[in-house]
Amino acid sequence: MQQQSIKLIKLPCVKDATKLSRSSIYDGIKKGTFPAPISIGIRAVAWLESDIEMWLDSRIKASKAA
């Protein structure tokens, strides 16, 4: 069995992938509607690429269901 590689992405990549602003992303995190980042250093965070992909998939499915 192959282990899936973990890929971390920083805020600029998250913004590009989601087309959301920084404030919208952090507002969604606060509301629990957007994946929270993980701490990778004292003043650095990143998101799991897989979490962002799952979030995007859920938005696509919700949009098509409406």
Give strand pairing partners of 45.
39
**pLDDT higher than threshold 70 for residue 24:** yes
Convert 2-56 into a string of H (helix), E (strand) and C (coil): CCCCCCEECHHHHHHHHCCCHHHHHHHHHHCCCCCCEEEECCEEEEEHHHHHHHH
Domain range list for the chain: 8-65
Which tokens in the block code for residue 12?
Answer: 């600029």
48 touches 57 (CB < 8 A): no
| Average pLDDT estimate for 11-26 | 98
**pLDDT higher than threshold 70 for residue 3:** no
pLDDT for the residue 4: 73
The DSSP H or E segment spanning 64 is helix 49-65
| Average pLDDT estimate for 14-19 | 98
Reported pTM: 0.88
pLDDT for the residue 34: 98
